Amino acid sequence: MSKPRRALIVDDSVVFRSFMRRCLNDIDGIEVVGTAGDGKMALRQIEQLKPDVVTLDMEMPHLCGIEVLQALQEKAPGVCVIVVSCETETDAKRTIEALESGACDFIIKPKASSPDAQGALTKQLSRYLFSAQSVGKVVRGKRLMRQTRAASYSKPVSFRPDVVAIGSSTGGPAALSAVFSMLPGDIPVPVTITQHMPKLFVQSLASRLNKESKLTVQVAEDGMVFQPGHAYIAPGEIHMEVVRKGVGLAAKLVDGPKMHHCKPAVDRTFYALAKLAPVVKTLAVVLTGMGADGADGGKKIREASGYVIAQDEASSTVWGMPGATVKAGAANDVLPLDQIAGAISRIAGGK
């Protein structure tokens, strides 16, 4: 029998720490080894108790959540941090910053009026904790950019896409930041992004990427015509397809059931692009994330003479989505994160 994963709860609210303990105690394979009410205490507890996973509040006395994450880059780079966030604009901005600083994922605090708040949060925690710990690894900040040898598949003699479509989930904000900070602003095709994230957090992600990138990054709106040198993020809680509009491409926002427990789903975007082939050629990129979203859609794009890049295991926070893409035989290339922006630039330019 495997040893339980050791969890530390960090929150300045005594009531919420108690609530979180009850949730974690309901999860088989998790042992709560301690709690902390502020950032300084959290760092001491992490050093002494050596937890595998930390649930981290963002707003705390002495040291805030971001400062704790920054300290962990040196003190405990292997610990999995799950940010606990409220669904507010301020918390959304802080959460995106935390995800770019190395947090593995985030959960949203349930409202007091929510039915079965404990059950809902326990389900969220169970999914994230076990996926992050067993499927992949945590890599923080610039460690995402380490050099790694890549396994490469057969390349077409020449390929020039009409659109670049990127999908990501767990670890995605940090990976997207790394890629977009390295992309030139004169990419001759539009870029779409599907990141598993609620609506309010998608807006914060778009704003942050827009500041970090030479491309113009914005949340897509229904009917919005895509422009070269621009990136369009699928809004939260609705799927984004890509359709022809005149001689160009445009966003089509589609309500409907979740795919892979997600909305927006990467596959929904990829399926729409595969249907446009061979008139529209797609360069698809599957970045870090739990689950298998993007693998089947990526396969359809490759079968329709598109081109697919999957992030490699060593640089992924969770090698679920890119790993499933590789296992499905959909990937033309498997590349470390630090090589993906360069590959996009070369392929989009027809080189």
Active site (catalytic) residues: 169, 196, 293
The DSSP annotation for 213-282 comes to -SSEEEE--TTPBP-TTEEEEPPTTSEEEEEEETTEEEEEEE----BTTBSS-HHHHHHHHHHHTTTS-E
Sole residue written with tokens 């990054």:
217
Which long-range contacts (C-beta less than 8 Å, at least 24 apart) are formed by 127-131?
Answer: 127/290, 128/82, 128/104, 128/170, 128/290, 129/5, 129/7, 129/27, 129/30, 129/53, 129/80, 129/82, 130/29, 131/170, 131/290, 131/291, 131/318, 131/320
Dihedral over Cα of 276, 300, 323, 145: its sign: negative
Per DSSP, 4 falls in state: P
At 236, the amino acid letter reads G
The SS3 of residue 204 is helix
User: Which run of H or E residues covers position 15?
Assistant: helix 14-25
**Strands 248-254 vs 239-245: parallel, antiparallel or unpaired:** antiparallel
